[in-house]
Amino acid sequence: MEGNHQKELANKCTGCNCPGHIPVDRRGLLKRFVWVLSTPLTALMVWPLIQTIVSTIFRLPKAVYTKVGPVKSFTSGQPGLSNFEFVEDVAYLHSTKLFDAWVIKHSDTKFTVFSPICTHLGCRFDWYPQAKKFICPCHGSVFSIDGKVLGGPAPRPLDTLPWKIENGDLYVKWERFRVGIPSKIRVG
């Protein structure tokens, strides 16, 4: 039988006169060669494939200060959602985008600026002036005017954004933070 013949050959490590039969040890060796050659072929192809789609996803773009508006144009006390144009560099794209932020003016020299992104899961929340609270419609997170969590599932207070005043204008640095965790970690 075929199987027994193979076993004989394996033990003898020599060829035989049977037509069409190749010595097992050479075949085995060739099989091993196939595996050895395939490995770098595959690895050298797979490694860049994975690297390209994984390595850029954690890149932090450089955050710059963007002008939001003249200090005088903000009214004190109540938070207001201010839209501002921001030149964004993402991958190969250089584009002007419209962003917004909650701006609270305490005085001509003191502001608080909140990111409009809820710290729970990234929805946009709104300010309820009579309740004097920020309320997020998605899952009911509630924040005070200082950004403190008053209720709901938000794990941390509202994220503040860096701001500065230059030549009578308010500038804000647009930054993005990871949602759903207690700590404020910048991701964009």
Partner 1 sequence: MASKFTRWFGERWPFKAVTEWSLNEYIPGGDSFWYCFGATMIFVFAIQVITGIWQLFFYVPTVDHAYQSVTYLRRQVPLGWFIHGLHYWGSNVFILLVYIHALRVFIWGAYKSPRQLTWLAGVLLLMLVMALSFTGALLPWDELGYWAAEVGTSIAGTVPVIGFFIKAFLRGGAAMSQTSLSRFFIFHVAILPGILAALIVFHLVAFRQFGSVGPWDPKKLNKTGLFWPDQIFKDLIVISIVFVLLVGLAAFWRAPITGPADPLDNIITPKPEWQFLFLYQFLKLFKGRLEPVGTVGVPLVLFLILFFLPFYDRNKQQSPRRRIFAMAGAGALIAWFITYTILGYLSNPGASLTSKVKVSAKASAGVKAGAKLFSSQGCTACHTVNGSGGDIGPNLSNEGAKGHSIPWLTQQIRDPKSHDPSTAMPAFDSLSDKQVQNLVDFLESLGGSGAAASPEKSTSKPKKPAEPKTTAEPNKTGEQSAQKLQMSQALSLAQKGKKIFDSQSCLECHTVNGKGGNIGPNLSDEGTKGYSDKWLTVQIQNPKVHVPGSIMPSFSSLGDQKINEVAAYLQSLKGSSGQNSGTKDPPEDPQTSLPDGPNPSGAANRKSYGRAVYLVGNPAHGKLLFDKWCQRCHGQDGKDNIPNPGSDDGTVPPLNPIDREIYNNNPETFARNIDLYIQHGSVPAGPHPEKDMLAFGDDLLLTQEMISEVQAYILQLNGVDRAEIMHPGVKPSIFFLITLIAFGSAVLIIAILWACKKEKEEESPNSPQE
Q: What distance in Å separates the CA atoms of residue 142 and residue 136, rounded to the nearest whole number?
A: 6
How many Å is the maximal CA-CA distance in the chain? Answer: 101
Binds partner 1 (CB under 8 A): choice among 8, 85, 89, 166: 85
Binds partner 1 (CB under 8 A): choice among 71, 123, 145, 165: 123
121 belongs to the binding site for partner 1 (CB under 8 A): yes
Contact by Cβ (8 Å): 149, 156: yes
Residues 6+ positions from 102 with CB-CB distance below 8 Å: 79, 80, 81, 82, 113, 114, 115, 116, 127, 134, 158
- Beta carbon nearer to partner 1, 122 or 157: 122
Contact region for partner 1 (CB under 8 A) — 13-21, 30-38, 48-56, 164-172?
A: 48-56
Binds partner 1 (CB under 8 A): choice among 1, 40, 58, 167: 58
CB of 183 to partner 1, least distance (A): 12
User: What are the strands of the beta sheet with 111-114, ordered from one edge?
Assistant: 80-90, 93-105, 111-114
Pairing of strands 163-166, 169-173: antiparallel
- Beta carbon nearer to partner 1, 145 or 165: 145
Q: Which residues bind partner 1 (CB under 8 A)?
A: 53-54, 56-59, 81, 83-85, 90-91, 93, 95-96, 98-100, 116, 121-126, 128-133, 135-140, 142, 150-153, 176, 178-180, 187-188
